[in-house]
Chain A
Amino acid sequence: MSMSKAYPLPIDISPTTVANTASLVRIVAFLFISGAAIASRLFAVINFESIIHEFDPWFNYRATRVLASEGFYEFWNWFDPTAWYPLGRVVGGTIYPGLMATSGVIYNVLHSLHLPVDIRNICVLLAPCFSALTAWATYMFTKEMKDESAGLLAAAFIGIVPGYISRSVAGSYDNEAIAIFLLMFTFFLWIKAMKQGSALYGTLTGLFYFYMVAAWGGYAFITNMIPLHALALTLMGRFTNRLYVGYSSWYAIGTLASMQVPFVGFQPVRTSEHMGALGVFGLLQIVAFVELVRVHVSSKQFQQLLFVSVIVVGILGTLVIVGLTYKGWIAPWTGRFYSLWDTGYAKKYIPIIASVSEHQPTAWPSFFMDLHFLIFLFPAGVVLCFKELRDEHVFVVIYALVASYFAGVMVRLMLTLTPIVCVSAAVALSSVLDTYIDPVVPDATDGDADAAKKDRSTTPASSASVVELLTDIVTSGSSPSKRTKHARQGIIGLDTRGVVILNALGMLLFFVVHCTWVTSTAYSSPSVVLASHMPDGLHIIDDFREAYYWLRQNTPKDAVVMSWWDYGYQIAGMADRPTLVDNNTWNNTHIATVGKAMSSPEEVAYPILRKHDVDYVLVIFGGLLGYSGDDINKFLWMVRIAQGVWPDEIQEPRYFTPQGDYRVDDQASSTMKNSLMYKMSYYRFPELFGGGQAQDRVRGQVIPNPGPTLDYLDEAFTSENWIVRIYQVKKEDPLGRDLKGANAFDKGKKRKRTRPPVRRRSLA
Chain B
Amino acid sequence: MLIFSPVLSLLALPALVLAAQGSAHERLVKLAAENNGIIKLDTTTFDLLTSPKRDWSASVHFTALDKKRRCGPCREFNPSWVAVAKAWSKVPSSARDSHFFATLEFEENHATFQKMGVQSAPVIMNFRPAAGPRKSAEHGTPVHYDLSSGLDAQPLAEQLSAFTPVPIPFRPPVDWTKWGTVLFFALSGALSFRFVAPVLRNRWVWAIITVFTSLVMTSGYMFTRIRGMPMAAPDGSWIAQGFQTQYGQETTVVATLYGLLSAGFLMLILVAPLQTFAFYLWSGIVFVLFSVLVSFFKVKNRGYPFKLIL
| Residues of A near any B CB (own CB < 8 A) | 343-344, 348, 360-369, 373, 375-380, 382-384, 386, 389, 397, 400-401, 404-405, 407-409, 417, 428-429, 431-432, 435-436, 452, 455-456, 459-461, 465-466, 469-470, 473-474, 477, 486, 489-493, 496, 499-500, 503, 507, 510, 513-514, 517, 521, 640, 643, 647-648, 651-654, 658-660
Q: A343-B225, A431-B269, A469-B274 given as contacts; is B143 within 8 A of A651 (CB)?
A: yes
Q: In whole Å, how far is A516's beta carbon from the nearest beta carbon of chain B?
A: 11
Q: Does B146 contact A (CB under 8 A)?
A: yes
Q: Contact: A373 with B218, CB < 8 Å?
A: no
State in angstroms the CA–CA spacing of A640 and B149 once bound together. Answer: 11
| Chain B residues with CB under 8 A of A435 | 268-269, 273
Count of chain B residues with a beta carbon within 8 Å of a chain A beta carbon: 71
Determine the residue in chain B with the shortest Cβ distance to A477. Answer: B203
Which residues does chain A contribute within 8 Å of B52, judged by CB atoms?
A: none
- For B274, give its contact among A363, A409, A486 (CB under 8 Å): A486
How near does chain A come to B146, taking the closest CB pair, in angstroms? 6
Residue of A343, A368, A432 touching B226 (CB-CB under 8 A): A343
Contact B246 A405 (CB under 8 A): no
> A375 contacts which of B162, B218, B245, B305 (Cβ < 8 Å)?
B218
Can you give 14 A-B contacts (C-beta < 8 A)? A362-B222, A364-B223, A366-B244, A368-B297, A378-B218, A386-B204, A386-B207, A474-B204, A491-B279, A640-B148, A647-B159, A651-B144, A652-B148, A654-B144
| A-B Cβ contacts below 8 A, count | 198
Task: Contact check, A659 vs B119: say whether CB atoms are below 8 A apart.
Answer: yes
**A386-B226 Cα distance, complex, nearest whole Å:** 31
The interface residues of chain B lying within 8 Å CB-to-CB of A465 are 275
Partner of B276, one of A456, A470, A517: A456
Q: A379-B214, A466-B271, A643-B146 are in contact. List 12 more A-B contacts (CB 8 A).
A: A348-B149, A364-B250, A376-B258, A380-B263, A407-B218, A469-B270, A470-B271, A490-B273, A500-B283, A647-B162, A652-B146, A660-B120
Q: Does B46 contact A (CB under 8 A)?
A: no
For A503, list chain B residues within 8 Å (CB).
283, 286-287
Closest to A640 in B: B148
Q: Give CA–CA (A659, B119) in the complex, Å.
A: 6
Q: Are B276 and A459 in contact (CB under 8 A)?
A: yes
- Looking at the complex, which one of B210, B271, B277, B301 makes contact with A460 (CB distance below 8 Å)? B277
> Contact: B297 with A365, CB < 8 Å?
yes
Q: B219: CB under 8 A from chain A?
A: yes
Within 8 Å by CB of B268, from A362, A500, A513, A521, lies: A500
CB pair A401–B214 under 8 Å, yes or no, is yes
Task: Say whether A361 contacts B265, CB under 8 Å.
Answer: no
Dominant SS at the A interface? helix
A466 to B282, CA, bound (A): 12
Between A379, A517, A658, the greatest number of chain B beta carbons within 10 A of the residue's beta carbon is seen for: A379
Name the contact of B278 in the complex, choosing from A461, A521, A640, A652 (C-beta under 8 A): A461
Q: How far is the CA of A47 from the CA of B206 in the complex (A)?
A: 48
Main secondary structure of the interface of B (DSSP, over half): helix
Taking a contact as CB atoms under 8 Å apart, the answer to whether A461 and B277 are in contact is: yes
Contact in complex: A365, B213 (CB < 8 Å):
no
Query: What A residues does B266 contact at CB under 8 A?
Result: 380, 383-384, 428
Q: How far is it, in angstroms, between the C-alpha of A433 and the C-alpha of B287 when the chains are bound?
A: 16
Report the nearest A residue to B269, measured CB to CB.
A431
- CB contact between B265 and one of A380, A489, A510, A659 (< 8 Å): that residue: A380
Give A429 to B206 CA distance when docked, in angstroms.
22
A506 to chain B, nearest CB (A): 9
Kindly list chain A residues whose C-beta atoms are within 8 Å of the C-beta of B73: none
Give Cα distance in the complex from A432 to B227, angstroms: 39
Measured CA separation A431–B273 after assembly (Å) = 12
| 8 A Cβ contacts from B210-247 to A | 210-211, 213-215, 217-223, 225-227, 243-246
B172 an interface residue at 8 Å Cβ cutoff?
no
* Measured CA separation A651–B147 after assembly (Å): 11
Given contacts A432-B265, A503-B286, contact A452 B146 (CB under 8 A): no
